[in-house]
Structures are given as C-alpha cells and as structure tokens.
Amino acid sequence: MVIVMKPSAPREMVDKIKRKMVSLGCDVHESVGKGQTILGLVGDTRLINPSQIEANVYVEKLLRVSHPFKLASRTFHPEDTVVKINGVSIGNGSLIVAAGPCAVESEDHLMEVASEIRKSGASMIRGGAFKPRTSPYSFQGLGEDGLKYLKKAKEATGMPVVSEAMDQTMFDMVEEYVDMIQIGARNMQNFALLKQAGKSKKPILLKRGMSATIEEFLMSAEYILAHGNPNVVLCERGIRTYETYTRNTLDLSAVPVIKELSHLPIMVDPSHGTGKWTLVEPMAKAAVAVGADGLMIEVHNQPEEAFSDGAQSLKYDNFQRMMDTVQKIYAVR
C-alpha cells in the first residue's frame, strides 16, 4: 500500500501518519520526490482503514501495489535510484562502463588491463577473484590474492572495483577489498546470500539468473532492499533459451520493462549475454539505445590465452572502438 501526500502536507502531518502506520504494524518507507512525498507501507495492512487515510485533507491518494515486490517497485519509489560507488554514480543519467578480465590472472596483467581500459574511458574495473565454473577442473580464481590485486589496480587508476562473492563464507572477505559486490547469476536466488548482501554497506550488483523471469529477478532485489541495503544495481546478462548459437539469449527488452516497473538502475553484460566477442559491440550499442544505465564488458590483451571466457573478451582496440560508438549513441538517445 502507498500513501501519496499532497505537496502542501506539513512535515508534522507526514510524521503523524508514519507513526500511526507503525503502530498498526507496518514498516514505513518514505520517498521524497519532486514536490511529493510518498509513504510505502510494508507488512500486514489489514488493520488499516483506507477511508480514514483518504479522509485526511493532506493525503492525495491511496494506492495498492499489485506487484509482489514492494520496495523495488516504482510505485513505492517513483524517482530513479542513483547508486554511488566511490565517485561513480549509476542511474543519474550518465553511462557507466565496468570493464576488465573475466578472471584476475596476475597482478601485472590486471594492472595492464586496468590502465588500458581507463585510457578508453571505462568507469570501473571488473574482475573475478573467485570463479564459479561449470567444470570443477576449470580455473577457479586466485581467491584473496585476486582481491588484493583488484585493490591495487583501484589505487593505481582511481577506478572503483566490482567482484563477485560466491557464498556467505567469503562475503566479508570480498566486502573488505571491493567497492561493489556482485551476486552472480547462479546465486540470484541464494536467499541467505541475498539477506547478507542486504546487511552490507557496500552497493550490490545483482545479475539476473539464467532462467529467471523479470518478476523473480526483482523479487531477489527485494530481498536485499528489505534487509536494509538500498544500493542495488541490476544486471541483465542473458537467459537460457532453446537457441544454442550464442552462449545465452540477451534479453534487451528487460531494460525498458525494468525501467517501467522499478526505480533501480540496470546494466547490461553483452559479454556473457552472447559468449562471442564479435557480438559484444553490436549488443552493447543496442543496450545503450534501449536505455541501459551501464555496461559490463570483458577485456583481455590476449583472449586466446585467457584463463576464463576468452571467446567473449574484447581486445584493447575493439574495446576502444566500442566505447567510441556507444558514447555517440548515448549522446543522442
């Protein structure tokens, strides 16, 4: 349920209604927009008498939220959420690009890649220190050493870093080193991990699960929001369909749908979304055109020798070309 206050509503009246709703067993989330204050009620609303609320001269209207996700809903929070990550803002109308190798391979290699992507205009460094792989025999990441290298790359370039926490046991370690914690596609419905992310002070990048509907995606974000962390960025990274030519099917329709349903910013990962480096640039251009707040791009100096996902990684010159192109599209969208 949402109470929309009139622009003329005095502060003391807003606070009075909030106290009344809390006394009836609801959690109240206040959102202040352009000339309007919205009170979102979460919990059992059966004790609330709608006619009493609507009779208040300072209440403009009372709305019922039809979606199962409340805090992630644009009805609850009409204004776009802006997530700030050490000088980088996602969702404020600018285009953010997080780039880097799929997996951190060595300190020297990461430093080189970080320097090159910065020259091309990247905003953040992405890199996996722990790698969830389909095969147990594939490279699993450098662990804490990889996190240390990411921190050094941040110090050298000034760009904040994002890396994945795969489970609860490593969450605190990842949180110590990075600026933004990624919850990967395989963990989108790891509810214990989502709850822990909700208690974190660090922004969360939540990737869509391989077979998740948009509603399920937003319900996972709801877990994080409901446990106290408002700084959530969504990431469309492709879903599994019957098509086998590409690694996944990149669902770009999810971007405008989520913009309609939710206030949370959304990025797009065309690297995992396609699995082919030749498709990364065209899908990145399309993602920017449909309104994505940012991109996640895998970049490697020698993709043919990459420890992980070389086939979907751009070389430096291709990344520079992509950056030039997407900035032009962003400027006119």
Interval 269-327: pLDDT, tens: 999 999 999 999 999 999 999 999 999 999 999 999 999 999 999 999 999 999 999 99
The residue-averaged pLDDT of 34-59 equals 88
Tell me if residue 119 falls in helix, strand or coil. helix
Percent of the chain residues past pLDDT 70, beyond the cut: 99
More confident residue, 132 or 36: 36
Lowest-confidence region among 75-79, 184-188, 252-256: 75-79
User: Cβ atoms within 10 A of the Cβ of 126, count?
Assistant: 29
Tell me if residue 157 falls in helix, strand or coil. helix
CATH fold of 2-63 reads Alpha-Beta Plaits (3.30.70)
Provide the pLDDT for residue 320.
98
pLDDT beyond 90 at 4: yes
Distance of CA 133 to the CA centre of its chain: 21
Distance CA 224, CA 204 (A): 9
- Residue 180 is inside which H or E element, if any? strand 180-183
Provide the pLDDT for residue 46.
83
Distance CA 131, CA 141 (A): 5
Interval 90-121: pLDDT, tens: 999 999 999 999 999 999 999 999 999 999 99
Is the CB of residue 237 less than 8 Å from the CB of residue 207? yes
How far does the chain reach from its first CA to its final CA, in angstroms? 34
| Residue 323 DSSP class | H
Provide the pLDDT for residue 137.
63
Sketch the domain layout of the chain as residue ranges: 2-63, 83-332
Question: Nearest 5°: CA angle at 174, between 284 and 218?
Answer: 50
Percent of the chain residues past pLDDT 90, beyond the cut: 87
The strand pairing partners of 204, in sequence order, are 181, 232
For residue 124, name the pLDDT band (cuts at 50, 70, 90).
very high
Interval 130-143: pLDDT, tens: 877 667 767 778 99
Residue for token pair 């993709």: 303
The residue-averaged pLDDT of 162-190 equals 96
Interval 251-271: pLDDT, tens: 999 999 999 999 999 999 999
Which distant-in-sequence residues (6+ apart) come within 8 Å of 56 by Cβ?
13, 17
The residue-averaged pLDDT of 190-207 equals 98
Alpha helices in 168-213 (DSSP H): 168-177, 191-198
Provide the pLDDT for residue 216.
98
Name the residue among 205, 208, 156, 162 with its Cα closest to residue 185: 208
| Residue 136 DSSP class | T
- Residue 222 is inside which H or E element, if any? helix 214-226
Residue for token pair 């948009």: 214
The yes/no answer on whether domain 83-332 falls in CATH 1.10.1760.20 is: no
Domains 2-63 and 83-332 share a fold: no
**Predicted structure pTM score:** 0.91
The residue-averaged pLDDT of 237-256 equals 97
Distances 164 to 39, 125, 265 between C-alpha atoms, Å: 34, 12, 18
Provide the pLDDT for residue 43.
85
Name the residue among 94, 165, 156, 95 with its Cα closest to residue 125: 156
Average pLDDT, the chain: 94
Provide the pLDDT for residue 131.
74
DSSP assignments along 231-297, one per residue: -EEEEE--B--S--SSSSB--TTHHHHHHHHBSS-EEE-HHHHHS-HHHHHHHHHHHHHTT-SEEEE
pLDDT beyond 70 at 41: yes
Provide the pLDDT for residue 136.
72
Distances 246 to 110, 229, 302 between C-alpha atoms, Å: 27, 34, 21
Distance CA 29, CA 26 (A): 10
